Chain A
Amino acid sequence: DAGVIQSPRHEVTEMGQEVTLRCKPISGHNSLFWYRQTMMRGLELLIYFNNNVPIDDSGMPEDRFSAKMPNASFSTLKIQPSEPRDSAVYFCASNRGLNQPQHFGDGTRLSIL
């Protein structure tokens, strides 16, 4: 079975540019999660969706961040405009529901110059 697929794997861009991260969850999983990981703050939940509906976006740092899930097989996380402090590894994860193990994608390593 294919796991969670994220793209791009690496992104380097200049501050002020728009960044779009993409995620395809595992087929049949109805919850999708976006995380950010840094050395200083560890793994932080940004937002999660259940059945394509955003349930909790309290972890989204500010209005520059937005996330969508137009259908069960695709989600995006957008940063506009990007800033150097957004540099981190962004993970997408999915699972079958509450208290089920989350399966993580390989992550997007984002560097904002």
Chain B
Amino acid sequence: GQNIDQPTEMTATEGAIVQINCTYQTSGFNGLFWYQQHAGEAPTFLSYNVLDGLEEKGRFSSFLSRSKGYSYLLLKELQMKDSASYLCAVSPDKLIFGTGTRLQVFP
């Protein structure tokens, strides 16, 4: 079967660092994506990992361990505008999305 797990909700303080974890079990693997979705808006692409290791893009980084079926999204120097849902999605062939982690950033 296909299964993607993420925490449902997280909270953090402005300026802090937060790590959002994602574990997956899929019948195949061609890559893992992270998307950001603000309330009432469409998902937007954040990062893509296909090989093990860390991909850094500004304040956001994403890590992948294929042997462990594990990824995380790291957000640094949190800002209020980072309050959103973060969706982990795995591609065996088509994209399968997790249910998302709702992050609330407080002042």
Interface residues in B76-100 by Cβ distance below 8 A to A read 87, 91, 93-100
Main secondary structure on chain B at its contact with chain A? loop
Report the Cα distance A97→B99, complex, angstroms.
Answer: 24
Q: Quick check: A106 and B94 within 8 Å, CB to CB?
A: no
CB-CB under 8 A from B44, the residues of chain A are 104
Closest chain-B Cβ to A74's Cβ sits at a distance in Å of: 19
For chain B, the count of residues having a C-beta within 8 Å of the partner chain is 20
Stretch at the interface among A20-28, A40-48, A60-68, A79-87: A40-48
Q: How large is the interface on A (under 10, 10 to 19, 20 to 34, 35 or more residues)?
A: 10 to 19
Report the Cα distance A42→B95, complex, angstroms.
Answer: 13
Closest chain-B Cβ to A2's Cβ sits at a distance in Å of: 14
Closest chain-B Cβ to A94's Cβ sits at a distance in Å of: 12
Report the Cα distance A22→B52, complex, angstroms.
Answer: 38
Closest chain-A Cβ to B77's Cβ sits at a distance in Å of: 24
Closest chain-A Cβ to B102's Cβ sits at a distance in Å of: 11
Q: Does B72 contact A (CB under 8 A)?
A: no
Q: Quick check: B45 and A101 within 8 Å, CB to CB?
A: yes
CB-CB under 8 A from A45, the residues of chain B are 94-97
CB-CB under 8 A from A103, the residues of chain B are 45
Closest chain-B Cβ to A53's Cβ sits at a distance in Å of: 14
Closest chain-B Cβ to A24's Cβ sits at a distance in Å of: 14
Report the Cα distance A107→B30, complex, angstroms.
Answer: 26
Report the Cα distance A30→B96, complex, angstroms.
Answer: 19
CB-CB under 8 A from B41, the residues of chain A are 106
Q: Does B33 contact A (CB under 8 A)?
A: yes
Q: Does B54 contact A (CB under 8 A)?
A: no
* A98-B45 contact given A42-B97, A42-B99, A43-B97, CB 8 Å threshold: no
Give me 18 A-to-B residue pairs in the complex whose CB atoms sit less than 8 angstroms apart, sorted by A's number: A42-B98, A42-B99, A43-B97, A45-B94, A45-B97, A56-B93, A91-B42, A98-B30, A98-B93, A99-B31, A99-B48, A101-B48, A103-B45, A104-B42, A104-B44, A105-B42, A106-B41, A107-B42
